[in-house]
Structure 1
Amino acid sequence: MTHPDLGPSQTGNADVDGDGTEERVRTYLLPDLEPRFVRFEYNPNDGNLSITEQVLLRDQNGNPLSGRPNLETDDTGRIPIDEQGNVLEFDPLGADLEGILRAPDGTYWLSDEYRPAIYHFQADGTLIERYVPQGLPPEVGNGVFPEVYNQRRANRGFEAIAYQDGKVYAFIQTPINNPVSQETATIRILEFDPATETITGEYLYIQDDMGGGSDKIGDAAALNQIGEFLVIERDSGFGPDSVKNIYRIDIANATNVLDITLEEGETLEGLSPEELDVRGIEVVTKELYADLAELGYTFTDKPEGLAVVDGDTVAVINDNDFGEGGVPIGLGLVNLSNGLDPSDRDGAI
């Protein structure tokens, strides 16, 4: 299962109020595009892929959601317009969806990039609740996350989402501005308990070299071992020299920093990994699981979907920005089995 995001759009400048001065705008080519679940099937025997179902997403009153921004302060203050230059209304529940999972109870959780937000939907696409950081207008969602999450970089909210042992885990796409996102490699992983609608944990994950390696999260998926997840880290490059890595991470021994107290003036993002270690703060451990670029997944800069197929295989799908730049949607199946079958006698590897 997958989903589209906010829809095709272009950024630029336009005089939208007729005062002779151009404003910063984002043009939504499909402003009423409805977000949705998209189910598909892939047959590895013949290579055929088919869409089997699309479930449109609605609010609690049955009104369609959109991909338009929530507040005037979103998207670095860009004004949303259509192709004719008409100013569009903001949508308090508008979604730039980036991750999806199906919970054991049959409901769905999706992460949102406009801000650190997660949506909870019934199987028929009806919104149950949207959860957001504290300090926002109530029409935007239920403010349960720490208010510091509002300091995310514009349009870099929760990029990845995973479910394990009754908890939802949401991953910020890039470090938050606490104080300056470009000067840190520290990503927050949020642990949310749906049963109590409370935050039960925060863990710190250190991205690779911000100066030349990966600088953003692509997606995440839970593994069977409690505390272990797969996480895509990527840069914005194309080709075999780009950085598109899947890491196996473990939060089991990481410090839960939810209620940790720092010295005056210190922030979690402002401390280097060495400084965190001195303060006894253990970050999430990580090891390379797969180098997607080395394995040939090089036609795109945005592998942003990840799912575990079985113990040896994961599926990766990319965001193609609705075909902009001629990039196709590519589904990759990565098998990392190291098994060797020297005989055919028992039918097993």
Structure 2
Amino acid sequence: MNHRLRLASVFLSALLAAPALAQTAPQAQLIGYAVLPADTFAPGPASGQYNGQGQRAEKPRFDSQPVQGFSAVQFGPAAGSYRVLSDNGFGSKYNSPDYLLRLYTVTPSPKGQGGDGSVRVDDFVQLRDPNRLAGFVIVNENTPDRLLTGQDFDVESFVVAADGTLWVGEEFGPYLLHFSADGVLLEPPYPTPDFGAGKDPAKDFVRSPQHPAVLADSPAPGQMSKATLGSSGGYEGLAINPAKTHLYALLEKSVVGDAPDTLRIHEFDLAGKRFSGKVLKYRLEDPAHAIGDFAVVNDNEYLVIERDNHSGDAARFKKIYKVDLSRTDANGYVAKTEVVDLLNIADPQNLAGFGTTFRFPFVTIEDVLVLDANTLLVINDNNYPATGGRGQNVKDPNEMLWLKLASPLNLAAGVGQAR
């Protein structure tokens, strides 16, 4: 083989072995828009009385529970309703002991689809541990219901299993949590085995700085922490395959020892109730980025929100990619293709009131749900009472977007809403 043919052969082999490069997507169109105001509250105890060091103020900031921090969305019990998962509360373990972990049911009335753009909060499921399965002392340890709070767990993602029970991705462990449909913890938390090079997944685990074992064994000054994952780096993304036999759990940050642009995708076998050992890798476009959600399309394809850590005019990167778990390169990175640029959405009807080009510039965009082959629902986590997405002095609301895609997705049976 001559030199030119040899080079061509090497190039072709590399091209066939590599996943498809991320491509720029045609502009999606806003076809529905609804807003839940930032100052929306639900019944419950007063909250917001603690600061980031866990110090208790004289009075709580809020008389009840803010309905905020939507970190995951699934279809609700009635047509047109959705279940949304509030995260740990006010941003950290120590300022959220009075924030109750809940799944809220909301019913939007979107502009562009005959509605007025409002969102109604219907009811909620309270997550709780009456059977004492958490494995550590919780805030409401000695109460009958043992309601779970944002100091106990940082819940960030959820799916509904075939039996109607809930699986929740969590960040303080990181753990997978299994709840009944009405919010009762059914099993002890599933810790995350470390399948990294040189690790024994039977005894080595991925642990955040907020993991109970790490907190109980704090290092002496000058010694290394036993955490192997950064704070707020756990299961921001959780998806279930169409057959509802496996979970796919996507970490938000890289594990110690991995490249800084590399996130692990873990497969969890629901029948065997175990991590299967299959670990794929998602490559960020920039190591400073983070992921916001993970949603099923078909057996192999899933959607990932990837975004920068800026908001408002400073936001430069908020995108949704389609990844193919069946197509990986020699290093285990999944193929990815851009589907939506959330900073460049066509809004010809000016549904949102920002002109004919719509930007979704919130720092945390953490909810995507496939409605049908042509339509996605996207929601931000507003980090109440944070500001910056719509103005430095404007509290960020929860905005809900219905996006029409330029090209249809190849949906598996059972994915999306029934027609």
1:333 paired residue number: 402
Per-residue deviation, residues 24-75 of structure 1 (Å, max 9, x unmatched): xx752x522210111111223212311122010111424211111xxxxxxx
1:306 paired residue number: 368
Are residue 232 (structure 1) and residue 305 (structure 2) matched?
yes
Identity value in percent: 30
1:132 paired residue number: 191
2:257 paired residue number: 178
SS at structure 2 position matched to 1:252: strand
1:120 paired residue number: 178
Conservation of the 8 A alpha-carbon contact between 2:318 and 2:361 = no
Name which of 150, 160, 166 aligns with 2:237. 160
Are residue 283 (structure 1) and residue 341 (structure 2) matched?
no
Name which of 161, 173, 176 aligns with 1:103. 161
Conservation of the 8 A alpha-carbon contact between 1:160 and 1:218 = yes
Are residue 253 (structure 1) and residue 327 (structure 2) matched?
yes
- Distance in structure 2 (CA, Å) of the matches to 1:230 and 1:99: 14
- Distance in structure 1 (CA, Å) of the matches to 2:375 and 2:105: 19
- Distance in structure 1 (CA, Å) of the matches to 2:164 and 2:175: 20
- Distance in structure 2 (CA, Å) of the matches to 1:284 and 1:145: 26
What TM-score do the two structures reach when normalised by structure 1? 0.69
- Distance in structure 1 (CA, Å) of the matches to 2:193 and 2:291: 23
Deviation (angstroms), 1:134: 5.1
- Distance in structure 2 (CA, Å) of the matches to 1:197 and 1:203: 19
Are residue 38 (structure 1) and residue 104 (structure 2) matched?
yes
Structure 2: runs of 5 or more not aligned: 1-82, 132-144, 195-200, 208-227, 346-357, 388-394, 409-419
Runs (4 or more) in structure 1 with deviation over 6 Å come to none
Letter in 1 for 2:405: L
Which structure has the higher relative contact order (CA within 8 Å, separation 6+)? 2
Conservation of the 8 A alpha-carbon contact between 2:191 and 2:205 = no
Question: Cα distance 1:152–1:55, how it changes in 2: closer, same or farther (>3 A)?
Answer: same
2:266 paired residue number: 190
Question: Cα distance 1:148–1:207, how it changes in 2: closer, same or farther (>3 A)?
Answer: farther
Conservation of the 8 A alpha-carbon contact between 2:237 and 2:250 = yes
Are residue 63 (structure 1) and residue 139 (structure 2) matched?
no
What TM-score do the two structures reach when normalised by structure 2? 0.58
2:89 paired residue number: 7
SS at structure 1 position matched to 2:163: coil
- Distance in structure 2 (CA, Å) of the matches to 1:307 and 1:289: 13
Per-residue deviation, residues 63-108 of structure 1 (Å, max 9, x unmatched): 211111xxxxxxxxxxxxxxxxxxxxxxxxx111111222222111
